[in-house]
Amino acid sequence: MPEATDIRLSGRGLHPSHFAALRTEILRTGAELSHEQLLDLTDALHSLIRLRRPGRPIRRDEAWVDYEPRTFA
C-alpha cells in the first residue's frame, strides 16, 4: 500500500508535500532577490493567474514566458 505522502491528489496541481517544498524554496530564495527580481517573479506568477480566468482563450500555456523583461528608468 502506498504511503499517504506518495498519493497525488486528483486534478491539477502538485502533491501537497511537493508544493510545500517549492513554496519554502521560493520564500528562501526570495530573500536573496533584488527588488526588481522579486517584482519580475511576482508579475510572472500573476500572469499565470490571469491566464486561468474563465472564458480567456489560451493558445499556448507557455506563451506567457516570452514576455519582455521589466525595465526601470
Residue range 2-58, pLDDT digits in tens = 555 555 556 678 999 999 999 999 999 999 999 999 999 999 999 988 888 777 655
Question: CB atoms < 10 A from the CB of 51, how many?
Answer: 13
pLDDT band at 73 (very low <50, low <70, confident <90, very high): very low
Question: Which pLDDT score, from 0 to 100, does residue 71 have?
Answer: 53
Distance CA 54, CA 32 (A): 35
Quote the pTM value: 0.55
Distance CA 43, CA 32 (A): 17
DSSP 8-state symbol, 54: T
